[in-house]
Structure 1
């Protein structure tokens, strides 16, 4: 199956809120996340709230390129980010805030396409991300050029996370 990448503004992402929640609910229900559906709502609402406050918010969406009208095409994946100091501590760097692919579409290069596309439009230099500290995720990002720079257990989280940097 082929797919097409589309850039989304913060307003366009907000307009697609329900679609993003459905995608996140599917993707986060399984391994390694095991999140309840409410977790997808919180994730998307946090993302959209941040998007509304960030001048340099950028997002890319992957849609099925199966001949259907653009408005009816299935959302296969989504990535978003912005410049922040939350992970770096001092220097503003591009933060890859979200990367999600529908479970039935994983392993088809969609995540890598979203990742690479977002880094091209959002980050002329170094970038950072934070993800669960599990080999399934850290190994994938390491293959894509990321290195672990810190380990954290934020707030009331029960799981460990890694902060990774992409040069």
Structure 2
């Protein structure tokens, strides 16, 4: 029997002449983690805002506040539920003037985008409903793409297209999902 032409079972999965499917499992894990972190942090960023505060000018030689009492403005980022904005203000105005985009859809999307990204990101990171969360992310990015097409933002459309391609590739590799809570979904 020629072992190079046949498939040999291992603990991880099937091993063939072309390679080991543990490679595909690790590739899927890396892709799943990247997409999960990307979605999670994009969702968390929807709750971030910058606040300008005044701080004393620090003397570079002593490291102490300047004796003259001079203050300068510093932008500090903070996160709070009150800061939430699913769609950036600059884009909200453009979307509001788009006749093909219903107002109720814009309001609903604005409210749900951040939480949906956070939930799907966490699901991917822990391996809970991996296929479902990947598919939901694809739908989110598809909806974002439609919005950017309507307001003519080709750079953003391309950027989202790359995300959808990565998700599609992750769905192809999902059969190699060895590191998950529930592998079926």
Taking structure 2 as the reference length, what is the TM-score of the superposition? 0.34
Task: Name the one with the larger strand percent.
Answer: 1
Tell which has more relative contact order, 1 or 2 (C-alpha 8 A, sep 6+). Answer: 2
Taking structure 1 as the reference length, what is the TM-score of the superposition? 0.37
